[in-house]
Amino acid sequence: MTKRIIKTLAALTVLILIALSSAAGTAYFLIDTGKQMNRNSLWLDIDNGAIDESRYLTLGGVQQFVRIRGRDLNNPILVDLHGGPGSAFTPFTHRVLAPLTEYFTLVEWDQRGAGRSYGDEAMARATDFERMVADTVELLEYVTLRFEQPRVVLVGHSWGTNLGLKVIAQRPDLVSAYVGVGQALGWKSGFDESLRLMKEAARGAGDSETLQALESVPPWPEDPELGADHVATIQRHLSRFGASIHALRDPQDGLHSHLMLDTILSPDLSMGELYKKFFPDPMSPANEALLVDLYDYEITYPDEYVFEVPVFIFQGEHDWQTPTTLIKEWFKQVRAPVKEYVAFEDSAHYVVNEEPGKYLYSLVAKVRPLAVRAAVEGQ
């Protein structure tokens, strides 16, 4: 009897392993097929004036990953600064930013410490906010020289907007227009406002459980090394209010979203790289160093208020990650040759993904004409 049970269990184990292997093989096949479909569909005619390249550039003395895409090299250059710090966009923008390549030469960059520019301890020792600004300027100088255009459209997302404001303050000669998407200002002031807004909403909704969790968040820590964990503690509650990603049937279910789908089916990620997206390495030493340097950062006058280039803000009305309440008050005081605040009524922090049509239209209709004009004047 015992032998029969053992044989039965062994047979069941083999069947289960076969089933699991078959399921894994099917999943691999479907994901790989989706990647190939995306790769085949994202066609650019590089033999007739288009560009589609990925390469490493030396910026600030270290190799950093840059991707450049566009249908016509006569189009204005758009340099995209990702958020985070450390949240490289290149793994999941193959689809959502593809329409921009019809109107701009799109330059995406994994900043030092992020994505394919992960780096090491040596990179970390040289990484601070000032170095990140210098890296950005080097990138702008490279693309303007290479493509023989005097200026670029500079687009920042979240943390990338802190970077963008510093760049246009220091080198307005390289920028035809600046666009802040999910504009960030000061760090402590911004996260304090996020916490205030969530407490107010939880109290108004009678959500005592969430309110208790929010009330238990400790004050801003004195030790900069604890800053990243403190921010994470605040931000983990944002989805409950649809204040990070708003345009989902269930804003708390970020797993089932275009962001996740685009990552899984990205033609730019190998299966090994995809695995690392879900089981990532620890935060890079460079990002850790940068977060410590940014710990006490707050905007100052006139650097983040008075500009020599046109300034556009694309802001989700439901954004409490970089709180819209603060951005509107700051923007009232901004002085620039041209300035415009574009409200994305159905978005929170990820307007590119939440309202991609309006995002494309706003860039093409409002920003691109200024870039074309700058190119003509620079000839």
Q: What is the full per-residue pLDDT of the chain (379 aa) written as tens digits? A: 566 666 665 666 666 666 656 776 777 777 778 777 877 777 788 889 999 999 999 999 999 999 999 999 999 999 999 998 988 888 889 889 999 999 999 999 999 998 898 888 888 788 999 999 999 999 999 999 999 999 999 999 999 999 999 999 999 999 999 999 999 999 899 999 999 999 999 999 999 999 999 999 998 888 888 888 888 889 999 999 999 999 888 887 776 677 788 888 888 888 787 777 777 778 888 888 998 999 889 998 888 899 999 999 999 999 999 999 999 999 999 999 999 999 999 999 999 999 999 999 999 999 999 999 988 887 6
Whole-angstrom Cα distance, residue 378 to residue 372? Answer: 10
Angle at 324 between CA 323 and CA 329, to 5 degrees: 110
Count CB atoms within 10 A of the CB of residue 112. 29
pLDDT number for residue 379: 61
pLDDT number for residue 9: 57
| 116 Cα distance to chain centroid | 14
Cβ atoms 165, 180 nearer than 8 A: yes
pTM for the predicted model, two decimal places = 0.91
| DSSP characters over 112-164 | TTSGGG---HHHHHT-SHHHHHHHHHHHHHHHHHHTT-S-EEEEEETHHHHHH
Whole-angstrom Cα distance, residue 68 to residue 144? Answer: 13
Whole-angstrom Cα distance, residue 321 to residue 193? Answer: 9
Alpha helices in the chain (DSSP H): 2-41, 121-125, 129-146, 159-170, 187-205, 208-215, 227-235, 258-264, 271-278, 285-294, 324-333, 351-354, 356-362, 368-378
Whole-angstrom Cα distance, residue 191 to residue 323? Answer: 8
pLDDT number for residue 262: 86
Kindly tell me the sign of the dihedral angle through the C-alpha atoms of 285, 220, 241, 343: negative
CA dihedral 367, 372, 375, 377 (to 10 degrees): -100
CA dihedral 115, 266, 162, 196 (to 10 degrees): -110
Residue 345 makes CB contacts below 8 A (sequence gap 6+) with: 317
Would you mind telling me the total number of residues written for the chain in this entry?
A: 379
Residue 147 makes CB contacts below 8 A (sequence gap 6+) with: 73, 77, 105
Phi and psi, residue 58, nearest 5°: -85, 110
Q: Buried (b) or exposed (e) across 136-174, using 16+ Cβ within 10 A? A: bbebbeebbeebebbbbbbbbbbbbbbbbbbbbbebbeb
